[in-house]
Structure 1
């Protein structure tokens, strides 16, 4: 499995998002499809995003005059609209098939809004077939809901390019919610537990939900989702909490549309950033000259050349710089070449099979595996500590005997006897042996879905 980050660099992708958005009309998602609650199995973020894409393609077909019950599209087109950057298309296929057996309860965030929809599957059928070396997807919606899905009376208008930037189910849900209620600038007010299942995609578990503390829901679901929507979309979302006595009872969301972000998505003439202008001005170079330099060499080349110019201006060796502008002009061709090379590298990274992309994918996988193993070991340690003292002592005796039988380095055995299993020299080996005994030999081998979950959380942190 090869990994491309689900959280790509925002600034680098503004123009790409605009291009994707222009290819298709905005998705009109019925309000009853916003706060769906899973009934049979959890709805993943990829499944929700894929459903949006299929709905968009079907609506696009209808706009073009094709009234069909079964819709068809190349899998490649579905993946393109998802902006799914992994080579492992099998994961997309798996989610497509799972949507047939995933039954949901349809509801609007506004109580009483929209007609009542029956509980049914996300899709009534979905098939994949290969035609002339191209994989095609065919799908159909539940007959009872098909008309309302394709011709909704009350709907949220949303941009699939924005949805593609979001990496958690909760963030996608919040973005869809913001699209629906942007004109009134505020979502409906509901009990905080009401929001849990639609936001997480989980199958309802009333007993578990009753035990859930609001502070954990806020920490683990609400705050990360709000931060992601605010960082990657047109909206600024703010959580509003309502108390009943001393406790938070209900919540809703303030929604504000940021016009600046839409402007940022449009193609515009390249300009020097304000920081570059400030630096150049401090060294005696006028704004007009800076704009001309940017027109010739580009803003990236200028931004990388200015620190070099400053270092030279602040040094009197071998002689003071008399004309900073002329010196800057002497630097620009070299920095322009490097900027062009960087652009080629960025373009190459878009091809998942290029050497640059493969190298990054390798680093990503290594980083994701490391993060997963750290979490795995933390969970294993927590499991051991949760055992009774008697059980812990018996396990310690058993694993000490096993270590002695393996003829490990005497220093490890010595530390185990003297300082216990939590000593840094012993802990890793102890937890590994404990995990193998309780879980099995594959305890430290993550599945592709395990790594995708880590990737959705980490993005490119520490990778690029």
Structure 2
């Protein structure tokens, strides 16, 4: 139960551990990192516009002081964040905070898509109105606190934009579509699931049992508000079985027409082969799968390729004894750096580093590598059931145990191979025109 009294035993017990969140500066950007688990929750009863704003504000203030177990927020700090200006009825805010303690929601607690888990909790665990201090104190349940303060997958939400929404369906639609801003297209959902996220559990006999009423009274208004008041435009797609709509999906575009660029990865030489091809070559000379995986993870691709070439040259030499163990010679060459001391073109002295050859293979590899960050972003933006299906398809097709990918384990080798698989699965093999336009844009223009 909530404790509104300022002299509660609980207050005295935590007096030494709680602290007010930092005072908000006017120039500070009011954005929060909202965990994916909290973006599309399924409430038992519909959440009001103010309830959603309050929950976001609580997460925002908590993230600014994540070391605390509970947080004290001044009313003067809270009201500008939630866009509430009715100073004559401030007890209403307390009532809405208490209602968040009673708001039972289901959220996806899955970290590994192969191990689906759903958790149920209230949005707030405890609320106290500090009347004399004109402040509120709140806390989250331990499990939800960990997810909210240390999200593994999250979307940055601008609370100033959220203040503009008036329809109860707009905030969940906006936050959901914002997750797919990079890919331009959300995953498909059964329309009933989206209805549940907006209006809660629908009782029998409700008009929202029928899609046409849910669309006309909730969905259309939410789409209009997002398009008019936010930084993105969304377009509804419907998927029917005959004449019955079963699934919905949204196209997402930024208002300026451009999507945010994916985070850049460190540039690599164009001649570096893919990790899968490297692994195949290392295994082919007799290295065990476990040792091959270690080599791929611990050494630079160009060093591995140089050691492979050095081993091939030594094995083909006619003026020396044949190699008894090519795998051991390769590992020794790699670890002791023998390959770096050998010119790959016998009889030709090198005076300096030579530019990589622009072969068709290297141009293709460089183009495909440029899509890898976007492929990873697309995977993270998928619904969890879609992620599980993609992972199952990939792991079924993986040619070696070391290439099978489990997101719960930190395997650079398997992750790199999986992202490359996803890259080709999403966009297919590039055409010559695509590669040419990527490498020589001025010539195309």
TM-score if structure 1 supplies the norm length?
A: 0.47
Question: RCO (CA 8 Å, sep 6+): is it higher in 1 or 2?
Answer: 1
**Structure with more of its chain in helix, by fraction:** 1
